Structure 1
């Protein structure tokens, strides 16, 4: 166990799986007192057990955010991994899905910054689509681009609290299981053989970047692109 977060508190917003889970486990390993928050606190309790304190929050609901802020009081580090992806071609996108995407990944973090009492760092998530647009990912790209710019703006408004973002590339999480085993293998093989890192990212890769963003006291207003160099191809 490390000591980077000894006597520090960390709030991690997201489901008890994938990247959010890896961040929770990394923060615990570094000695943090972790609060995991999401729409379903019972799922968080079931997923983490007694290792963390589970709380309810809906980042698209200001009253929910304010209630969480009142229950927690000051918190040293906050990480939000919440997202609602608006995938699809332009002709298939609708206003509701785009608004939900922005509400969750852009407006939600802005309201978290407004209402929570954060003392040291705030880490958001952007994504590779912001830096390498692709057909079928317009909604994802503009949402991530906005999250990237929000990061820089908040770093000025919240100073000296440090605000950074993580921009993952293709990461091996459960999100790709919907493709089926053959489809997932083919998709991963394409990216593995084309990106400069010659591999698919892991949730541990992302969690390490989050810990770095949380602990480096001279890093702010930066989006760390943990993407295997995919935008270069």
Structure 2
């Protein structure tokens, strides 16, 4: 355990599984008080019932919901926004609603989190947003995902300047086995993971813990701001 997060309050916005859960668990191990917030409060309570995590409800696409969360939990030291709404599909399959839902969840929502949490955050506080490898690796079916993640990368740089000395960073995961790919079916998922494992320089698929380690680094390195850390196994290189 290091001292950087001990007795600090970390708000993790997202589901009770995958990357958000890995971040919460890692922060707990570092001695932080963790608040897990998301739209499905019942699911979060079930996921965290055997931990010391405090559970709250928030919809990051609704500013009033974010404002209410800030009033409920009071000041926090760090905010991690891991919420996402994937708008996968080729151009003929995409709808304006799906694209806007993705953008509101990963771009507008974090800006509103900054609006309502930064004013009470200490100078050593920080925000970490989630971007993604699609911003650097154009692929059919991921246009809306790429556009959203590219916007996250830009927002991080602007927020880092505007909110200084509060730090703002992003972590950009590659293909991570969080369960999000289970919809492909066992065979489809195995084929995709097999192809990516053979191609990327690390020769494996990423885990939620890989991403959580990078997020904790971004939370605790006090000389890091305005950057997007790739945790992608070198995927864009091939």
TM over 0.5: yes
> What SS does the corresponding residue of 2:80 show, helix, strand or coil?
strand
Q: Tell me if 1:4 matches 2:4.
A: yes
Query: What is the 5 A alignment of 1:1-233?
Result: 1-49=1-49, 50-116=51-117, 117-119=120-122, 120-233=125-238
- Report the alpha carbon displacement of residue 73 of structure 1 after superposing the two structures with TM: 1.4
Q: What's the TM-score, normalizing by structure 1?
A: 0.98
- Report the alpha carbon displacement of residue 40 of structure 1 after superposing the two structures with TM: 1.7
RMSD across aligned positions (CA): 0.9
CA distance in 2 between partners of 1:83 and 1:196 (Å): 27
- Report the alpha carbon displacement of residue 10 of structure 1 after superposing the two structures with TM: 0.3
CA distance in 2 between partners of 1:39 and 1:82 (Å): 10
- Report the alpha carbon displacement of residue 2 of structure 1 after superposing the two structures with TM: 4.4
Question: Structure 1: where are the runs of 5+ without partners?
Answer: none
- Report the alpha carbon displacement of residue 5 of structure 1 after superposing the two structures with TM: 1.0
Equivalences, count: 233
- Report the alpha carbon displacement of residue 44 of structure 1 after superposing the two structures with TM: 1.0
> What SS does the corresponding residue of 2:77 show, helix, strand or coil?
strand
CA distance in 1 between partners of 2:52 and 2:97 (Å): 37
> What SS does the corresponding residue of 2:35 show, helix, strand or coil?
strand
Runs of 4+ that moved beyond 6 A: none
> What SS does the corresponding residue of 1:47 show, helix, strand or coil?
helix
CA distance in 1 between partners of 2:48 and 2:192 (Å): 31
CA distance in 1 between partners of 2:92 and 2:188 (Å): 24
Residues 148-203 of structure 1, C-alpha deviations (whole Å, 9 max, x = no match): 10000100011001000010000011111111111111110000000111111011
Question: Structure 2: where are the runs of 5+ without partners?
Answer: none
- Report the alpha carbon displacement of residue 4 of structure 1 after superposing the two structures with TM: 3.0
Residues 72-95 of structure 1, C-alpha deviations (whole Å, 9 max, x = no match): 111001001001111111111111
CA distance in 2 between partners of 1:180 and 1:101 (Å): 23
